Amino acid sequence: MAPQIRNRRGISNVVATIILIAVAIALAVAVAVWVFGLAGSSAKTATLNVQALGLSIGSNAGSSSQLTLVLSNPSSSSIGINGFTLGGLTCTFSTAIAVPPGTQGAQLTITLPGGNGGYVSATPSGTPSGTASGTSLTVSGTAGSATISVCTGSVSLTAGTQYSGELTTTSGQTYPFTVS
């Protein structure tokens, strides 16, 4: 028997080219969105810039010392600061301090009981102890202030020593700083 030749027609070359170009463009857009994170949550993550302005240590163990940090929040959402770490001392605040969106150069001043050669440590109740009265925290340039509610560990404050620390946010993110 002789083979039968059927009269089949495929799609035209023009239609096939248009379909291939459309698929290539769709794949390129998908790759660009994935690479540049346009659809990801990274574009929505709040960031806090922390710069240590200084640690002024009191002249003797009975005086108080002040840690001054400069905060900037370039993101579009507010960031709550829940506590800080300085050397071996970790403290949390009784209420979180809100750093509003768009904040630039706000100063955070933490007053610690203990001067040159003095220790700042946690007592069994969790409140910071030292020869100076109490530990307070004030924020200028932002709305609000707070007091320290719980501290653990200790730090010896000595003039000329470099200390590393970090701020902790209510979302659990930490932002390191170094001060001397």
* Residue-wise pLDDT tens digits, 32-44: 888 877 655 544 5
Average pLDDT over residues 92-107: 83
The residue behind tokens 């003095």 is: 118
Confidence band, pLDDT 50/70/90 cuts, at residue 98: confident
β-bridge mates for residue 139, sequence order = 108
172 burial type by CB count under 10 A (0-12 exposed, 13-18 middle, 19+ buried): exposed
Task: Tell me the per-residue pLDDT of 157-174, one tens digit each, with 9 for 90 and over.
Answer: 787 888 888 988 888 889
Task: Considering only residues 132 and 64, tell me which one the structure prediction assigns the higher pLDDT.
Answer: 64
What integer pLDDT is reported at residue 139 of this predicted model?
43
Task: Tell me the per-residue pLDDT of 128-159, one tens digit each, with 9 for 90 and over.
Answer: 444 333 444 444 444 456 666 677 887 887 87
Highest mean pLDDT among 46-55, 79-88, 117-126, 135-144: 79-88
Average pLDDT over residues 56-81: 80
Confidence band, pLDDT 50/70/90 cuts, at residue 127: very low
Structure tokens given for 169: 């946010």
Q: Residue 113's closest CA among 155, 71, 165, 169?
A: 155
With a CB cutoff of 8 Å and minimum separation 6, the contacts of 117 are 60, 61, 156, 157, 158
